[in-house]
Amino acid sequence: MTSDCTNMSTKMSGHGSVIPSDPYSGYTYYSNGDFYINRTIFRDVLVFFYTANYSNYDNDTDVYASISMSLAALHMHYVPKNETIDYFSSGPCMFGSGPAETSSFTRIDCHIKYSPANSSDPFHIGFPDIGDAGAVPVAFIDYYFARFKQESVGNKPISVITPKELRRFYQVYMVTKDVQDRTLVKRNFSVKISVVQISTGFVVIYSIMAFLVTLGGLK
């Protein structure tokens, strides 16, 4: 951690390795949670980063059809805390200057393409565009922080959030945000049902036999 807390990229050495901003819009969104043990040290810090480029705007659906993005989860252990600020302060200035004891991160780089032409109902499906990009890392913290805090308080190993988990949570979050309106939509379903069927020939032969047996009985 450097002494420059203008933003997270200036505060954190190696920030560009965790989440590259050059290929993207130049602005990185992040959200973090922590557990501190005194006024000078964070035992553990968890940070989620999100940066993206939105392109190919679609006038009909009012969304961007293409997104190039990176998602990263960073864990730092024993990080210096800024002693001169309030306990509940947030942002880069909450960190002091000096090295973290250990740190590790995972990242996934994605390109997402939305194809409304492939859907007969383009307005009631999940799509990757989002008006509030800063909400993405906040959603990650909301979901993963409880487990992280429990592990840190218990001084246990912190679970590694894999790139596969980053991708799956992003997918779930995007679908959830897009289907919250309770709008009635007609859907066509193909249903496969197991049915016991009897052949016509069997029915004819069985009917003739039944008739002959009945006729013979009467005689």
pLDDT at 87 over 70: no
Q: What whole-number distance in Å separates Cα of residue 217 and Cα of residue 74?
A: 88
**Residue 44 CB burial class (10 angstroms; 0-12, 13-18, ≥19):** buried
Q: Is the pTM of this model over 0.85?
A: no
Q: What is the mean pLDDT of residues 15-26?
A: 84
pLDDT at 188 over 90: no
Q: In which band, very low, low, confident or very high, does the pLDDT at 89 lie, cut at 50, 70 and 90?
A: low
Q: What whole-number distance in Å separates Cα of residue 189 and Cα of residue 4?
A: 58
pLDDT at 163 over 70: yes
Q: Which long-range contacts (CB under 8 A, 24 or more apart) does 17-21 make?
A: 18/49, 18/72, 18/74, 18/105, 18/107, 19/49, 19/50, 19/51, 19/70, 19/72, 19/107, 20/51, 20/70, 21/51
pLDDT of residue 63: 79
Q: In which band, very low, low, confident or very high, does the pLDDT at 196 lie, cut at 50, 70 and 90?
A: confident
pLDDT of residue 114: 78
Which has the minimum average pLDDT: 53-57, 86-90, 107-111, 125-129? 86-90
pLDDT at 77 over 90: yes
Place of tokens 């920030």: 15
pLDDT at 47 over 80: yes
How many residues are recorded in the chain? 219
pLDDT of residue 122: 65
Residue 6: CB atoms within 10 Å: 10
**Is 94 in contact with 82 (CB distance < 8 Å)?**
yes
Q: What whole-number distance in Å separates Cα of residue 109 and Cα of residue 70?
A: 4
Q: What is the mean pLDDT of residues 56-81?
A: 89
CA-closest candidate to residue 122, choices 40, 62, 35, 182: 62
pLDDT of residue 123: 67
Q: Which two tokens stand for residue 72?
A: 């990263």
Q: In which band, very low, low, confident or very high, does the pLDDT at 88 lie, cut at 50, 70 and 90?
A: low
pLDDT at 112 over 70: yes
pLDDT of residue 111: 92
Q: In which band, very low, low, confident or very high, does the pLDDT at 158 lie, cut at 50, 70 and 90?
A: very high
Q: What whole-number distance in Å separates Cα of residue 174 and Cα of residue 51?
A: 15
Residue type present at position 130:
I
